[in-house]
Every structure is written in C-alpha cells, then in structure tokens.
Amino acid sequence: MSFTVFLGNLPIWVTADDIKQWLAAEDLVADSVKVIRNHETQESKGFAFVEAPTADEMQAIIRRFDRAPLEDKILRANPAQPSKGAAPKGGPATGATAQAPGGAAARPADRNRPDRRGGKKRDSEPKSAFAAELAKAL
C-alpha cells in the first residue's frame, strides 16, 4: 500500500533535497521525494509527492507541513489522489464500474453532450459568457 503525500504551493526554487532536509530536521521519514517539473523548462511546477513508509508517518508529514508558511506562501499537504483517468494500482483499467467519492457508482457519460461529428446538441444554453463564446467557436 502506498502512503503518498501531495505537497503543494511550493516556491519554484524548492528541490527534493530541500524537502528531505526539512523532513530530517523534524525527525520525519520519507522513502522518496519527487518535485514535479515542467518537461521543457525543468522549472518546478510548485508541487511534490512524498512517499512515507507508514500511514502514521504520512499523517505526521501532513500535520507538520499543511498550512505551514514558507516565504509569502502557505503550503498545502494532504494524501495524494490518483491522477484522473489512471486505474488504481492492481485494478483493471477498463470494464469496472468507477466509484465516485462516497461509494456511489459514477454516472455514465452525458448522452446529451454535443458531438463534434454532428451528434445530439445540449438541451440547455451555456451557463457563462465564456462558455457561450466557446460554443460559437466550435
């Protein structure tokens, strides 16, 4: 089982080594730290993932870093969520009924959405001026 912490709102200068030093200074343990970077520029995107060895260690990291001030920012730390569209580890990628938060089955795709190939149109008007402009462009 994975105990991953999402650490967000980081200044762009923060490196994995910086985070490891902060953890060590607080007597916290991490199996790995990965600062997410832009592939083209290699500049930090402002967030990282910290792999903790246990659920207790994950909670300790979250308690220490969530809402902690750093320069002019307030850090965010919480349990990491799987990326959208990714199958859970060990689970099937397709064919299973997706579960929404709270255990309810996910709704099937909205069948009234416009289709780029001339399918059904929406029953209602766009909800914002931006959506209306976007609809005109499409």
16 in a domain, yes or no? Answer: yes
Q: How far apart are the first and last CA of the chain?
A: 44
pTM higher than 0.85: no
* Residue numbers of the domain that contains 59: 3-79
pLDDT digits (tens, 9 = 90+) for 2-42: 899 999 999 999 999 999 999 999 999 999 999 999 999 99
136 in a domain, yes or no? Answer: no
CATH of the domain at 60: 3.30.70.330
pLDDT at position 83: 78
pLDDT at position 87: 59
Return the closest-CA partner of residue 16 out of 57, 59, 41, 47.
47
pLDDT digits (tens, 9 = 90+) for 45-61: 999 999 999 999 999 99
pLDDT digits (tens, 9 = 90+) for 97-136: 444 444 444 444 444 445 444 444 444 454 555 555 555 5
pLDDT at position 138: 44
104 in a domain, yes or no? Answer: no
User: Cα 82 from chain centroid?
Assistant: 7
pLDDT at position 78: 97
